[in-house]
Amino acid sequence: MRRLQEREPHHSDLLNKLNILRAGVLGANDGIVSTAGIVIGVAGATANNMTILASGLAGLLAGALSMAGGEYVSVSAQRDTERAAIKQEVHELKTDYAGELDELAEIYHQKGLSEKLARQVAIELMHKDALAAHAEAELHISPRHYVSPCKATLSSLFAFISGALLPLLFITLLPESIKIVGTFIAVLIALIVTGFVSAYLGNIPWKANVLRNTVVGMITMLVTYTVGNIFPI
């Protein structure tokens, strides 16, 4: 039984891994769309490769740092909220253990157990680890495993850079005659992939998600390219 418990993933561990994957996919997607919008917009205004490259690199660095910073702040706030909730549970267990026992029993009773069985389950779980029992049943978190802001931040940072490199490389390396069209096609293919992956991770219908993702990307590139043509360098 002990070996089985060691092999089973904790809910918070799974949540942490999914959080990192989510940050990675969203970071890559944002890197693709925002950088594609910048380089195609600049390419609409000038054919100078150095100008396009410099603009793309500036957008890549600004976007990556902004994305990473936002992810760090967001996940740190989530972690602080979890810690505060755990601290409150510790206080309640110390000051009103009987009331917390009744509360846990009621949680399991509402889930479908009989009152007698629900109370017995609550007694046994709290006897083993009262804090863990309440945190997992009431708060759906583990008192020993918190989401990691550093991991999510690094995942978001490198994913954004990886996504941003795709349109930047295509727009600067492709021949002048197919520069815009080739980059546009490459970006659409990449957005189809990230849309499908994000739908898979979120367990949502992939077709609608892919459609939204590609439409947003196309609109972004068309708008910035139009602006670049209006204000040529």
Q: CB count, 10 Å around CB of 130? A: 19
Per-residue confidence at 9, pLDDT binned at 50, 70, 90? very low
DSSP string, 209-225: HHHHHHHHHHHHHHHHH
* Span of 29-33, 162-166, 199-203 with lowest mean pLDDT: 199-203
Mean pLDDT of the residues in the chain: 86
pLDDT at 2: 39
User: How many whole angstroms separate alpha carbon 140 and alpha carbon 132?
Assistant: 10
User: Are the beta carbons of 104 and 133 closer than 8 angstroms?
Assistant: yes
The SS3 call for residue 197 is helix
Nearest to 85 by CA among 141, 130, 133: 141
Q: What is the pLDDT of residues 43-72, one digit of tens each?
A: 999 989 999 999 999 999 999 999 889 889
Ramachandran angles phi, psi of 114, nearest 5°: -65, 160
Q: What is the pLDDT of residues 141-168, one digit of tens each?
A: 777 777 778 887 888 889 999 999 999 9
In this prediction, residues 95-115 reach a mean pLDDT of: 90
Domain ranges of the chain: 2-86+147-228
Per-residue confidence at 42, pLDDT binned at 50, 70, 90? very high
User: How many whole angstroms separate alpha carbon 100 and alpha carbon 98?
Assistant: 5
Nearest to 152 by CA among 48, 74, 38: 74
């100008």: which residue's tokens? Answer: 51
Q: Over 60: is that where the pLDDT of 201 sits?
A: yes
**pTM for this predicted structure:** 0.74
pLDDT at 7: 42
The SS3 call for residue 231 is coil
Q: Over 60: is that where the pLDDT of 8 sits?
A: no
Question: Who contacts 162 (Cβ-Cβ below 8 Å, separation ≥6)?
Answer: 28, 31
User: Are the beta carbons of 221 and 36 closer than 8 angstroms?
Assistant: yes
In this prediction, residues 91-110 reach a mean pLDDT of: 90
